[in-house]
Structure 1
């Protein structure tokens, strides 16, 4: 293989890797709207009642490196939100929940409306701002972002 062809192939691989990185970064925190009327049984998740305005459910595992940071972000946001409940679910020893909620990665966060219907699903590292925006869309714009 001559040097020119090798450099061309190397350059193409670098561009491909860069493009893939940009694509993954752009889609990493995107919220996905959840459709359907199925309510989540929050008792099976360890919560005794829904929040009056919304409920946030975070699924994580013991080995997840991003999960503790996301849990702190959600806890801090919920403290400022009257009527918003938060439940953290470790699915490490509960694989049936991972199957039921079709979890492909952790952390995965579901934002439920006041009736317990999933409205938004976020996966990966989640910023306070994006979660606040999703709460605004469900609760009518009363959340506070810092």
Structure 2
């Protein structure tokens, strides 16, 4: 698995989140992916320094292979430097995402 991901590697306009990036690997017709997208977007909108990025596995097959994506959605919590800090397969629970952000990337850290 990649040690560190960059905005360029992910094909992003703009940088990774200052505090953390919630990287979601999705597929086009995945209902759980839509649920995860809404939840993670809400977390990013309400949490300073956190960015949500959703990439489609079909358009990023090499990256998905490198990250060993076995199901969608898969969510990776990236630190500010792009290091993968945590991984979750399936739709995460809101409380679990917030707790993970607080534990791994506290405000002001």
2:99 to 111, 133, 136: 133
Tell me the CA shift for residue 37 of structure 1: 8.5
Tell me the CA shift for residue 63 of structure 1: 2.4
Larger helix proportion of the pair = 1
Per-residue CA deviations over 1:93-134 (Å, capped at 9, x if unaligned) read: 332121011000000000011111010001112111111111
In the TM superposition, what are the counterparts of 1:1-146 in structure 2 within 5 Å? 38-47=3-12, 48-140=14-106, 142=107
Q: Is the 8 A contact 2:76 2:86 kept in 1?
A: yes
Displacement over 2 Å in runs of 4+: none
Q: Is the 8 A contact 1:46 1:87 kept in 2?
A: no
**Distance in structure 1 (CA, Å) of the matches to 2:62 and 2:99:** 30
Q: Is the 8 A contact 1:58 1:108 kept in 2?
A: yes
CA RMSD of aligned residues (A): 1.7
TM-score by length of 1: 0.67
Alignment partner of 1:92: what SS? Answer: helix
Q: Is the 8 A contact 2:6 2:81 kept in 1?
A: no
Alignment partner of 1:103: what SS? Answer: coil
Q: How many equivalent pairs are there? A: 106
Gaps of 5+ in 2: none
TM-score by length of 2: 0.88
